[in-house]
Amino acid sequence: MRITCPDCRKPTTITHRVPLTDSIADLYCTCKHCGARSVFNLAFKQYVEPGQASAASIAAALLGLLPEEERRKLFQDNPGLLCLP
């Protein structure tokens, strides 16, 4: 990850990271060009494409929101969703 110094606009160096939550952290930076020390926020925004485990848990959560009858109809209308032997 490349971070630009807000003072001189040259690349600055991340010296340490302080997690605030599981998806937000402060990045402390020191610029070797001008000596400025700065703090940036790093935050998860959204998935472009979730990993397989995340996709499965998202699908399970969404299916859990459907009433049982709608869930049953979904699987009846889309037999390819079930991969039973």
Binding site for Zn ion (CB under 5 A): 5, 7-8, 31, 33-34, 36
Q: In the complex, what is the shortest distance from the CB of residue 57 to Zn ion, in angstroms, rounded to a whole number? A: 42
Q: Which is nearer to Zn ion, 17 or 33 (CB)?
A: 33
| Alpha carbons 6 and 37: distance in angstroms, whole number | 10
| Alpha carbons 48 and 77: distance in angstroms, whole number | 28
Q: In the complex, what is the shortest distance from the CB of residue 29 to Zn ion, in angstroms, rounded to a whole number? A: 9
Q: In the complex, what is the shortest distance from the CB of residue 16 to Zn ion, in angstroms, rounded to a whole number? A: 18
Helix then strand count (H, E) for the chain reads 2, 4
